[in-house]
Amino acid sequence: MNNQELGEVGKGFTAEYPSVIVRGYGCEPAILAVHRVNRATGYIYVAKPWATKPVGFRSSDVFEYDDWMFTKLKRAYESKDQTALMQLYNEAAPFLPTLIKQE
């Protein structure tokens, strides 16, 4: 089941702003909402749903929301296990922006 099929998506975000896992700076995982996608640049703009200035991340750093995967990523990050963290990011499902506002 993808974000668009869920209606309310992780952390209470809506289908209008679907939740995703983002590989943040320093590889820290975060749960944010997709605001828009720029297919020309390959950037996905994410922030909290109420934010007015989302930040662009490369599509390779944005993943489908999965609570269990986020928990595993967070644990690996907090334990400073870079090998496990990179392996988990490689296993995470990439975000596929099918119904998101396009630029």
Residue 17: the pLDDT is: 82
Q: What percent of the chain clears pLDDT 70, i.e. is strictly above it?
A: 80
pLDDT tens for residues 71-93? 999 999 999 999 999 999 999 99
Residue 2: the pLDDT is: 36
Residue 91: the pLDDT is: 98
Residue closest to 34 by CA, chosen among 19, 21, 13:
19
Topology given in CATH for the domain delimited by 3-91? SH3 type barrels. (2.30.30)
Residues of the chain with pLDDT under 70: 1-15, 98-103
Residue 79: the pLDDT is: 98
Domain ranges of the chain: 3-91
- Alpha-carbon radius of gyration of the chain: 13
Residue 12: the pLDDT is: 45
